[in-house]
Amino acid sequence: DLATAFNDRGQIKYLRVEFAAAMEDYTAAIHCQPGFEVPYYNRGLVLYRLGCFDEAMKDFRKVLELNPQFEDAALSLKQAILDKEEKQKRGY
């Protein structure tokens, strides 16, 4: 389906370190199928890597709302929270 195709194309772009383009595809997948948790997770990973912890946490929380058993999203959420706290402690 279209949402899966957008997500898969986003993955290819992510692996090429084309983060902005990957996020566009993940967002397109979400618009096609708002209940599909995987593109939220993938977009959250990109946001995390870019240091956008609040936005990443929002996506990881959405994943867990859609699928509470998504263990990688739970782990990523915990890591984003820890990294945000560390960043704040260091004053930037």
Which ranges in 1-92 belong to alpha helices (H)? 2-15, 19-32, 37-49, 53-66, 71-89
Whole-model pTM: value is 0.94
Cβ atoms < 10 Å from Cβ of 74: 15
pLDDT in tens, 51-66: 999 999 999 999 999 9
pLDDT in tens, 29-42: 999 999 999 999 99
Torsion of CA 86, 87, 90, 92, to 10 degrees: -170
What whole-number distance in Å separates Cα of residue 62 and Cα of residue 48? 15
Domains and CATH numbers, the chain: 2-90 (1.25.40.10)
